């Protein structure tokens, strides 16, 4: 369980809060809009109505006590930039801010953000992969050269064990799990792959594509 400060309760912040609540984290939610705060009261440990771009107000929240602070503001970049800087000045352990463009991401990082979420870009890339590449069911950008893919079991792999296929040596891919009937199952050398399953693999797109084509 983590203690989380969530600033901004627009659509993005609300979705983040719902997931944080599902994960049983302790969340303090902050927004200038009283109605937005009142709507989320059942899902939070604490809530405050106020302008987080006001340093005095922000200081009263005890930001250094939270494991992570999320700046989920999407429609007021100036406020997001100021809040990010103030959080780091006040001793926040980790600040994750939302950006709507690459230039915003760069400015937020320069202003002290430990990480920046760029949801429009990430969702667009996911959509491009998910809906244009056959046999790919899901995709997660891990940054760098490696990504995670959920793929159908290639026809040539069905009925064979992981050890027989020697996937790591032949394709430089790591199979993390087999997904069967909604469950993720661990993989060993003797795991036999079946048609109705999908695989969670990590590797470069070139190697994933080669494996799917062979």
Dump pLDDT digits (tens) for 141-178.
Answer: 887 788 999 999 999 999 999 999 999 999 999 999 99
Question: What's the token pair of residue 182?
Answer: 């909604």
- The domain boundary residue, chosen from 117, 149, 166: 117
Give the pLDDT of residue 140. 86
Task: Please tell me the distance from the alpha carbon of residue 117 to that of residue 100, in angstroms, as a whole number.
Answer: 9
Does one domain contain both 109 and 66? yes
List Cβ neighbours of 16 (8 Å cut-off, separation of 6 or more). 6, 70, 72
Q: Are residues 105 and 149 in the same domain?
A: no
pLDDT for res 131: 83
Q: Give which of 134, 129, 135, 132 is closest to 197, Cα–Cα.
A: 135
* DSSP 8-state code for residue 139: E
How much is the average pLDDT of 22-32?
95
pLDDT digits (tens, 9 = 90+) for 196-210: 999 999 999 899 988
- Range of 45's domain? 3-117
Strand partners, 25: none
Residue that terminates a domain, selected from 82, 117, 152 = 117
Q: What angle do CA 190, 196, 198 make, to 5 degrees?
A: 70
**Dihedral through CA 201, CA 207, CA 211, CA 213, nearest 10?**
130
The CATH code of the domain that includes 201 is 3.30.70.1450
Which helix (H) or strand (E) segment holds residue 75: the answer is none
- Give the CATH number for residue 40: 3.40.50.720
């Amino acid at each position: 369980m983590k203690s989380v400060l969530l600033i901004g309760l627009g659509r993005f912040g609300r979705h983040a809060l719902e997931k944080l609540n599902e994960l049983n984290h302790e969340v303090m939610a902050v927004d200038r809009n009283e109605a937005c705060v009142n709507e989320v009261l059942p899902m939070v440990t604490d809530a405050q109505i106020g302008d987080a771009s006001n340093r005095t107000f922000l200081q009263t929240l005890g930001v250094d006590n939270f494991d992570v602070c999320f700046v989920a503001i999407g429609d007021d970049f100036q406020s997001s930039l100021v809040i990010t800087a103030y959080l780091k000045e006040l001793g926040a352990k980790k600040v994750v801010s939302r950006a709507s463009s690459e230039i915003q991401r760069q400015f937020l990082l320069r202003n002290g953000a430990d990480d920046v979420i760029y949801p429009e870009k990430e969702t667009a890339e996911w959509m491009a992969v998910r809906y244009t590449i056959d046999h790919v069911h899901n995709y997660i950008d891990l940054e760098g050269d490696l990504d995670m893919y959920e793929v159908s079991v290639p026809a040539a792999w069905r009925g064979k064990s992981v050890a027989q296929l020697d996937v790591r040596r032949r394709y430089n891919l790591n199979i993390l799990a087999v997904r069967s009937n909604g469950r993720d199952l661990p993989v060993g050398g003797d795991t036999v792959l079946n048609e109705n399953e999908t695989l969670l693999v990590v590797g470069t797109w070139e190697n994933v594509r080669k494996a799917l084509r062979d």
